Structure 1
C-alpha cells in the first residue's frame, strides 16, 4: 500500500516537471477567404524567464500517415529568427511572443490548400520529457459548386442506366441526394430496385414509368446547389436519327420518281404538224415562164409541152394520153399554220 502511494506521487511530480503542449479544440472551422487563429500553448519545468533556447515548429501534416509534413514556419529563440514557408509568406505569424508560453498563430485568406491537420511542436533545452507536440484539424469550409448532372447508358425499355452528379468544389465533402418527379411534375419515390451512392443513381430495367424529371442536390454545412436532368425512356426501335434518315431517303426517292414520270409523260406537249394535200388542177399557168406553177413541165409557143428542150408531138395515142393526163401531184408539204392561203 505504501509502495503504491509513493509510485503515484512520483508520477505526479514527473508530469509536473515535464513539458506539455496543448491545443484546446480538435477541429477549427473557417470559411474560405476568411482569417483564423489556431491556439497553442506550452508549459515547461524551466522557468520561462530562464529559458536559454527555444524552438517552435508549425507544420501541415500529409493526408496519409506516411506522407511527409510540410513546414508552415519555424521560430528560434533567443535569436528571434522566423523562417516562413513561401506558400504562407504574408499570411501567417505569431499572435504573441513565443517565449511567453503562447505559440498560437494566425492564418489569413485561408484557401482549400490549407485544409487538413496542422501540428504544433515546442522544444526547450534541458526539458525533453513529456509531450511536446499537438495537432488539430483545420477545416476550410467551401460551399459546393453547382453540380453537373449526366446520364450513362441508353434510356430504352428494359435497359439499366445510371444518373451521375458531381460538384467540383465543396468542403466538407458534399453529400448528394436524388429526387424525382413524374411526367405530371408530381414528387414520387425512387423507382423499384434503384440505388443511390456517392452522387450516382442506378435505375434498373427502366420502362415508360421511369420517365420523368430527376434533381440532384449537392450540400454541406455551408449551403447546397442542384442540377437536373430529364429521362425519357423509349422503345428500342425508336432510334430517332435512324428513323429520320429513312424518312429523308424515302422523300428523296419519291421526288426523283415524280420528276422522271413528269419528263416521260410531258416531253411532247405541242400540237403535231399538219400537212395539206395539193389538189390537182389548182396549179396556175405562168405566161412569162410558160410553165404551170408547182410543176416542172414546159410548153412551147404553140402550147405544146416540152422537156429539157425536146418537143413532144402528138403522134400516136400514147403521146395524146400523156398530154391529156393531169399534172403530177407534188409531195405533201407542211401547212402554213396561222397564215391564210393567198
Structure 2
C-alpha cells in the first residue's frame, strides 16, 4: 500500500498515513507538502539475449529506489534445475567482487552501479553460459517491493559442417536413408534437403521433419543425382552433399567378387590336399616295393642245387684237363714252365 509523508509548515510535525484518505482529511491553509516513499523496483530491459560464443555480452538490470543510502549488495545467480549457481556478488560498502567458480575474472559490474545500473558483462562466452540469470538488489534501507529480475542468455554457435551418409545398398528396388547431422550448433540447427539430377537440374523433393533422415523408397535410376543437406541456425549455414547412383542387382560387384574369390581359394586348398595325398600314396608304394625285393646277400641256394652246381663244375674241369692232354700229344713238346 502506498504511504505518504505529510509535513505541516516550517519545522512542523510530520507523520505517515496510508492511501489518499490522509490527504483528503488533512488540509492546511498555510500550505501542505507531501512526498511519496516508493518501494524498490528491479527490472531488465530484455528478457532474452543472444551472443556468439567467445564474445562478450551485457545482461541488463536496473533498480529504482527512493532510499538515499546504498547499504546493501547486488547479486547475480544462474538458475539451474534444482539449485542456483553464483555468478558474482558486489557490495556497495566495500565495492568488491565475490565471484562464482566459473566466472572468476570474467564478469564485471556496470560503472554506474551507484546510479541504479546493476548490469553485468560476461566475457569469453562458452556453451556452458547458456541459461537463465537472476539479478537481485538488496538494500537494508529498502526491503520491500520487487527486488529481482530475470534474463535468459542464449549463446550462439554456428553449425559445424554436417556429416552426410547413406544407410542401405544403392541397388535398384531397395529403400535407402540419407542422413545429415552437425556435431554442434546453438540454437539447434534446422535441416533441409535439395535434389539435383545428373544434369545438375533441381527437382522437387518431399522434405522430412527437421533432423530426420531423408528416406528414398524403391529407388530407380531416375533418382540418381546429387542430394544436398543444409544445416542452419541464427548465426551460420553449412552443407554437405551425397551422390546417389542406383545400380542393377546383377552389378553387385562386391558380392560376386567375394563369391568368386572364395571359390578360387577353395579350389586352391582342394588342389593342395589332392597333391599331398598323391605324393603320400606314391611314397607308400615305393616303400612296399622295397620291402618285397629279395635280399641277395642273405639268400642261400638249396642244398641239392648247390650239390648239382658243384658236380657240374667238377665235370667241366675234368673235361678241360682231358682236352689239354689231347692237344699235348699232337703238338711239339713245350718246355716246362
Deviates more, 1:196-205 or 1:215-224: 196-205
The equivalent residue for 2:224 is 211
Pairwise CA distance, 1:89: 1.0
Q: Within 5 A, what are the aligned runs for 1:233-272? A: 233-236=246-249, 238-249=251-262
**Residue 148 (structure 1) shift:** 0.9
Counterpart mapping for 1:63-82 below 5 A: 66-82=81-97
Q: Distance in 1 between matches of 2:266 and 2:87?
A: 76
Q: Indicate conservation of the 8 Å contact 1:175/1:199, yes or no.
A: no
TM-score, length of structure 2 as denominator length: 0.64
What are the within-5 Å matches in structure 2 for residues 1-342 of structure 1?
A: 17-47=38-68, 50-51=69-70, 53-62=71-80, 66-96=81-111, 98-190=113-205, 195-236=208-249, 238-249=251-262, 310=319
Query: Deviations for 1:41-72, whole angstroms, at most 9, x for unmatched residues?
Result: 1011312xx23x3121112223xxx4423211
Structure 1 residues 199, 222: CA separation in 2 closer, same or farther (over 3 Å shift)?
farther
Q: Secondary structure at the match of 1:242?
A: helix
* Cα distance in 1, alignment partners of residues 176 and 209 from structure 2: 12
The alpha-carbon deviation at position 165 of structure 1 amounts to 1.2
Contact 1:160 1:203 in 2 (8 A): yes
Call closer, same or farther: CA 1:195–1:34 in 2, change over 3 Å: closer
C-alpha distance after superposition, 1:250-279 (max 9, x if no partner):
66688999999xxxxxxxxxxxxxxxxxxx
Partner SS state of residue 120, structure 1: strand
How many angstroms does 1:238 deviate by?
4.7
CA contact (8 A) 2:190 2:210 kept: no
- Secondary structure of the residue aligned to 2:102 is helix
Task: Return 5+ residue gaps in structure 2 as ranges.
Answer: 1-18, 24-33, 275-315, 323-337
SS at structure 2 position matched to 1:88: coil
Give, in whole Å, the separation in 1 of the partners of 2:146 and 2:96.
Answer: 24
**What is the total number of aligned residue pairs between the two structures?**
254
User: Judging changes above 3 Å, is the alpha-carbon distance between structure 1 residues 101 and 184 closer, same or farther for their aligned structure 2 residues?
Assistant: same
Report the TM-score, using the length of structure 1 for normalisation: 0.63
- Relative distance call for 1:257 and 1:97 in structure 2 (3 A) is closer
- Give 1:149 deviation, angstroms: 1.0
Deviation at 1:237, TM superposition (A): 5.7
Whether the 8 Å contact between 2:39 and 2:66 is mirrored in structure 1 is: yes
Could you say which structure has the higher helix fraction? 2
- 2:162·2:240 contact (CA, 8 Å) conserved in 1? yes
The CA deviation at 1:244 is 0.2
Segments of 5+ residues of structure 1 without an aligned counterpart are 261-306, 314-342
* Alpha-carbon distance change, 247 to 86 in structure 1, aligned in 2, over 3 angstroms: same
Counterpart secondary structure, 1:162: strand
Cα deviation, 1:144-202, whole Å, max 9, x if unaligned, reads 111111222333344332222111222222221111222333221116xx634325222
In the aligned structure 1, how far is the partner of 2:319 from the partner of 2:108?
145
Q: CA RMSD in A?
A: 3.7
